[in-house]
Chains A and B, each alone.
Chain A
């Protein structure tokens, strides 16, 4: 059984190590702690959204509405801060409520009206992105309160930064780690979490065994929504402004990260660890290309090729394993 664990996640880990080595050789600044922290910080948003998307994919569903959720959360929280002053707790509360609300809508429609997740969340995406753009008219929200800037640059703890000084861990990364731990716990130890795997494995069996599928589905999409909501606030805290147009296309990146990390689009499998690896892989690639001064157009090409090759390898490997399955114990 340990061998299985080594198969998927381990190979991604190896790839990450390999690429890191290549990048470091080309550009030693890569391995500097402050660069690594920066890279991680820059991908916190992707990471948290991926953690929210993971349960959805495990259950065999998909959530394309996360872009709408994160945008709405960023915009409304931004407006809240700019117009009412407010404090960090209110901001997060609002973000969570927005995420939960949109997620609830997604989940209810999917569970009760039986409309396939891809279509439901697509429609929701349309609606909420539209609401965001309508509300802001595409305008940015700047002049956020100074206490928020403080929050955004808040660091925890002390680490050596490789050039004699010290470095703190940005609060956003703390959020990411917390989200990871919570997601891991929910998936592994709670009944709802096990229900998610069950639904992804066999919906009919999950019904027979007594899982409340509707309730679990609503939970999954609410969880994903909440993660996206929180990600919205964190995103704003990093860039210190809200550009409602900047979130376009995020949902696809999130899905790629989760899938590269080992989750199957059909459902039934996926782990927090794998998702982390998927996010790190994408982060490392992007940073590597930037450090190597590869122009943006090439980055897209490289990314595209990697997605196709990575997923192809996965499938080919899987097929080879299936083929090797000894079906008959041959008599000599």
Chain B
């Protein structure tokens, strides 16, 4: 396209055994917000890595910056050509100050021998002001919230004189207010004629902020459209190649029995006066803004983040939960938000991961593990949840995000947890796998397990839960039965104070 800042044509990328990209096209204009959507495996991160100089495209690929054909030879070259990337993990240094994080690229690029701290501080201050962030440049980055760290990352890109900023899943750890602030910043960037490439799974945000949307599927370019000219169903259809229906699973029948009862659970600086009941076989959705204390509360129930006061009753009996072992003994399981580092052991096999909570069950009397039993056990669950590839000896890290999540689920379903708490189970999971995970959650609920589903995605909450709790600033702000509930009603409780 004419006038494009960056244009990629006929880009392919082959790895041994896998063709990640086949003849794709992408271009972006100065000051444009151009979103790239697609399922996991569509090739989005490969494209980003080509743009940022990490990978080189196969022969025949053409890259043009400002109309001139060029080659992005490495990460520093990309920065010099004006392309900056903000990765999901920000690639920042928690042990250094915001100023240093912002100025470091420039210092390395100009190959300065000595660091001029005063200058670095001033330049950082300037960049932060442009971004509109109220951050003291001398603060150690690790002490800032995730949202603020992201602002520092953006300021860093501005300090490097970026003409294009690629944002990879930028809103996955942000609360609604922080997302609004981010979009404001994107608006500022647009006004400065900086192009923004927005890669995200969250289609509502994509529609909200982008000018154009490009869809990739299975490493191929599908199409590009102006965001006003296409709707969600069409987009999903292009991403997935088939129609996906929005299901509502809510089962409104009266439930028998209380599986879990929580009374006045309190922990200073985390949550206060939490009381609720979880019925047998139901899916209770807990939502609210990020930072409302949902995970903290869930972790208290699981024994990781012990509460100061309050009581927990399982099947009507009071239990003391001081550690995950106590929780497991009470039949409670927790699938953490950060599945990759906390939910699974990446370096170990799928089989070992699935078998871990239940080691005792196939240990003989002298304490030795019956390997045959363990293998059969793992294979059964791989089958049940349709984990692909089906090999129990693969390392967890070799599976895709969606399949990894299935392994985590398998592990706890297999452990026959009576109460299962899942925290953001479909974060970063592609649409197809998402639907599967929703189906699995409903199935286990139907089989008698009581599930607490913590999620920031309202469509997911509304689709999967029977009842919904809304948390706000450490307390429970509202409770709904999932009938005729709208996203606005939930948001209302999540945001407004009762005063």
Contacts and interface: CB of A to CB of B under 8 A. Distances in A.
Q: Are A and B close enough to touch in the complex, i.e. CB under 8 Å?
A: yes
Contact of A194 (B94, B109, B115, B296): B115
A210 to B, nearest CB: 5
B91 A204 contact: yes
Interface string B118-147: 000000000000000000001110000000
Interface in A43-92: none
A208 B35 CA distance: 23
Contacts of B293: 327-328, 330
A190 B115 CA distance: 6
A324 B296 CA distance: 13
A202 B93 contact: yes
B91 A326 contact: no
B95 A200 contact: yes
B105 interface: yes
Given A190-B113, A201-B93, A211-B108, A327 B270 contact: yes
Contacts of B91: 202, 204-205, 208-209
A326 B293 CA distance: 11
Interface stretch (B276-284, B403-411, B445-453, B467-475): B467-475
Given A198-B96, A201-B95, A202-B91, A327 B269 contact: yes
Contacts of B76: 210
Contact of A327 (B117, B139, B296, B497): B296
Given A208-B75, A324-B269, A330-B272, A269 B473 contact: no
B258 interface: no
Contacts of A198: 93, 96, 104
Contacts of A327: 269-270, 291, 293, 296
A1 interface: yes
Contacts of B365: none
Given A205-B93, A208-B75, A331 B497 contact: yes
A277 B105 CA distance: 33
Contacts of A268: 94-95
B93 A331 contact: no
Contact of A209 (B108, B138, B474): B108
Contact of B75 (A1, A4, A210): A210
Given A205-B91, A205-B92, A329 B104 contact: no
B271 interface: yes
Interface in A274-332: 324-331
Interface residues of B, number: 38
Contacts of B140: 1, 4
B119 to A, nearest CB: 12
A327 B115 CA distance: 35
B138 A1 contact: yes
Contacts of B272: 330-331
A32 B292 CA distance: 60
Nearest to B139: A1
Given A1-B139, A330-B272, A191 B92 contact: no
A327 B268 CA distance: 9
A197 interface: yes
A198 B100 CA distance: 10
A184 to B, nearest CB: 13
Nearest to B93: A201
Contacts of A206: 93
A331 B475 CA distance: 7
Given A189-B114, A190-B113, A191-B108, A330 B93 contact: no
B96 A201 contact: yes
Contacts of B139: 1
B209 interface: no
B100 A194 contact: yes
A274 B263 CA distance: 48
A198 B95 CA distance: 8
Interface in B81-107: 87, 91-96, 100, 104-105, 107
Contacts of B497: 331
Nearest to B111: A191
A24 to B, nearest CB: 37
Nearest to B269: A326
B270 A328 contact: yes
Contacts of B115: 188-191, 193-194
Given A210-B76, A328-B473, A331-B472, A190 B96 contact: no
A269 B95 contact: yes
Contacts of B473: 328-331
Contacts of A190: 113-115
B371 interface: no
A55 to B, nearest CB: 14
Interface in A145-173: none
B208 interface: no
Contacts of B95: 197, 200-201, 268-269
Nearest to A58: B95
B108 A330 contact: no
A62 to B, nearest CB: 18
Nearest to A330: B474
B112 interface: yes
B474 A191 contact: no
A309 B291 CA distance: 36
Interface in A1-26: 1, 4
Interface in A198-254: 198, 200-202, 204-206, 208-211
A200 B115 CA distance: 18
Interface string B252-275: 000000000000000001111000
15 contacts: A1-B139, A190-B114, A191-B113, A191-B114, A202-B92, A208-B87, A209-B91, A210-B79, A268-B95, A327-B269, A327-B270, A327-B293, A328-B271, A328-B292, A328-B474
Ranked nearest first, the 10 interchain pairs of A and B with the lowest CB-CB distance are: A330-B474, A331-B473, A268-B95, A201-B93, A201-B95, A328-B293, A326-B269, A205-B91, A328-B474, A210-B108
Interface of A: 1, 4, 188-191, 193-194, 197-198, 200-202, 204-206, 208-211, 268-269, 324-331
